[in-house]
């Protein structure tokens, strides 16, 4: 049976960082809704043009567009064994839609590691984040620097700062998270699949705790 893991946590909690480290170990495709939107934006597809304004303002792209995009992505061959979802679902409607689509495929959400980090720390993390232009590998100028400044350790591509990592946009993203996404903590707790992880610990320790939670889940 395919296995589905949902990474939950505020912007900057470390979802992308951890997904990059654990997806191979779990044998699951890493599906990041933010990366798919950014790819569409770069290629100026219809979806990218529709999503652009919302992303620049730090708001959520409407549910119907997002759900359709993820449904399509989860049906590709690399998700046959399941997926590690990073950034989706982000609203109760998206969580309901995910549950329904997985049930149609005889699957369910097996585990939801929730990476908790206080808001002040999130701002420091996002304002110092550098992202690889080719494949989205993530660094931090202080907490996780690349070996050579401005260059990705993995593929040698240029590192850039995301448009939505400006302080005002980060603050908006955090308040949108608190209003629209944080209810999912209770939602998945009730389903008995939530595993809270202390995201203020060093990156390696967060990875170990996540793997431990996932092996139990
Ligand atoms: P998205 O790309 O998903 O952004 P996000 O959820 O805001 O998450 P981030 O990528 O900012 O943070 P992260 O938790 O992955 O942290 P990271 O590992 O990089 O979404 C962007 C936009 O797309 C949204 O605003 C919305 O418009 C749209 N969108 C996406 N999905 C959507 C959906 N489902 N519905 C509607 N709209 C959607 O780490 C952050 C930094 O901290 C890095 O520099 C890293 O090196 C550092 N770091 C990580 N872990 C640690 C640690 N333990 N200690 C110290 N530093 C650390």
Q: What is the 3-state secondary structure of 147-201?
A: CCCCECCCCCCEEECCHHHCHHHHHHHHHHHHHHHCHHHHHHHHCCCEEEEECCC
Report the pLDDT value the prediction gives residue 2, as an integer from 0 to 100.
79
Show the domains of the chain with their CATH numbers: 3-117+193-216 (3.40.50.300)
Report the nearest-CA residue for atom 23 of ligand 1.
34
Rounded distance from Cα 16 to ligand 1 centre (Å): 6
Q: Is 57 considered catalytic here?
A: no
Listed range (24-28, 55-59, 181-185) with the worst mean pLDDT: 24-28
Instruction: Tell me the pTM.
Output: 0.95
Look up tokens 């839609």; give the residue.
97
Q: Is 7 in the pocket of ligand 1 (CB under 6 A)?
A: no
What mean pLDDT do residues 35-61 have? 96
Residue 217 has pLDDT above 70, yes or no: no
Q: Is the pLDDT assigned to residue 215 strictly greater than 90? A: no
Q: What is the mean pLDDT of the chain?
A: 95
Give the distance (Å) from ligand 1 centre to CA of residue 129: 10
Contacts for 206-213 with beta carbons within 8 Å, 24 or more apart? 206/14, 206/18, 206/115, 207/18, 207/21, 207/22, 210/18, 210/22, 210/113, 210/115, 211/22, 211/25, 213/111, 213/113
Of these residues, 50, 162, 166, 172, which one is catalytic?
162
Query: Which of 10, 17, 60, 159 has most ligand 1 atoms within 8 Å of its beta carbon, as the pocket-test mutant?
Result: 17
Return the pLDDT at 1.
78
């Amino acid at each position: 049976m395919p296995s589905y893991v949902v990474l939950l946590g505020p912007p900057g909690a470390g979802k992308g960082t951890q997904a990059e480290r654990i997806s191979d170990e779990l044998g699951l495709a890493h599906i990041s809704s933010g990366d798919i939107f950014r790819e569409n934006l770069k290629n100026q597809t219809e979806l990218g043009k529709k999503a652009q304004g919302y992303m620049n303002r730090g708001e959520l792209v409407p549910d119907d567009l997002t759900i359709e995009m993820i449904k399509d992505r989860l049906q590709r061959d690399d998700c046959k064994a399941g997926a590690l979802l990073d950034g989706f679902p982000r609203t109760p409607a998206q969580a309901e839609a995910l549950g329904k689509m997985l049930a149609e495929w005889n699957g369910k959400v097996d585990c939801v590691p929730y990476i908790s980090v206080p808001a002040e720390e999130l701002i420091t993390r996002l304002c110092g984040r550098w992202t690889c232009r080719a494949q989205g590998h993530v660094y931090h100028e202080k907490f996780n620097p690349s070996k050579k400044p401005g260059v990705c350790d993995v593929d040698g591509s240029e590192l850039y700062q995301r448009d939505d990592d400006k302080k005002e946009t980060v603050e908006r993203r955090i308040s949108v998270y608190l209003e629209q996404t944080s209810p999912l903590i209770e939602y998945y707790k009730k389903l008995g699949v939530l595993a809270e992880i202390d995201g203020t610990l060093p990156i390696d320790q967060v990875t170990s705790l996540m793997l431990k939670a996932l092996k139990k889940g």
